[in-house]
Amino acid sequence: MALDLSSLQGTADSYATKSPQAILGLALTEYSPSVGIAFSGAEDVVLIDMAVKLAVPFTVFCLDTGRLHPETYQFIEKVRTHYGIVVDTVAPQADAVQRLVRAKGLFSFYQDGHSECCGIRKVEPLTRALAPLGAWVTGQRQDQSPGTRAHVPVVQLDRTFSTAERPLVKFNPLSQWTSKQVWDYIEIYDVPFNALHRRGFISIGCEPCTRATTPNQHERAGRWWWEEATKKECGLHVGENTDDR
């Protein structure tokens, strides 16, 4: 089964006030087993925990950029063993990375911005990871980044990664949740989380591009801190989060 794309906006409206479990259940019911949960952070493990409890087949993948913190690799392994699931790690193309490093060094993003590096280490691998899927599930929340995610719907056509031959639907079950709701769920259900969170890291990406934040800073202030706040996206969701009404 698959959702009727012509009525996707109506589906998003009707599910906007429903629980994340109901939205996730819709994704799994309509697209299993061709549905994947993109895993990198706390929100994503909440979704994995919910999906395991729904007991409908799904896949999990994460992007191994080659620049992650050691704690993040340990976190990936902890999630794999905790839930007894396969976590497919998708790496960038080695030749593309080598060309970038040879031409610009290991830290070109501090001068040129992060788009080029993220394009090689994240966007291209994600394109490959999504190729066999009919739908994917993300942990995006509207309050994560007011400038870029304020209008994230609970379900949408993924205009960035869809093709004419293969439309791709994106589900964002935690769209309406706050960070507090995510962490309340983690505490109540003893969900694994990245050890970096205990050291002041809230939004965690690659090691050179992530730092801890202070209590009065927004959660994504620690990502690409040398760039404008409006540019704090790596390209995985750019172009998807405008208000289409």
What residues act catalytically?
234
Question: Cα(165)–Cα(112) distance, rounded to whole angstroms?
Answer: 35
Supply the DSSP string of 113-129, one letter for each residue. -SHHHHIIIIIHHHHHH
The answer to whether 88 and 61 are in contact (CB under 8 A) is yes
Question: Cα(105)–Cα(71) distance, rounded to whole angstroms?
Answer: 24
> Which residues 6+ apart lie within 8 Å of 91 measured at CB?
64, 65, 66, 125
Question: Cα(61)–Cα(156) distance, rounded to whole angstroms?
Answer: 20
The answer to whether 20 and 159 are in contact (CB under 8 A) is no
Question: Cα(148)–Cα(25) distance, rounded to whole angstroms?
Answer: 26
Choose among 236, 87, 89: nearest CA to 168.
236
Burial 154-190 (b: 16+ CB within 10 A, else e): bbbbbebbeeeeebbbbbbbbbbbeeeebbebbeeee
Q: How many Å separate Cα 181 from the centre of its chain?
A: 17
Q: How far is CA 74 from CA 20, 79, 211, in A?
A: 27, 9, 18
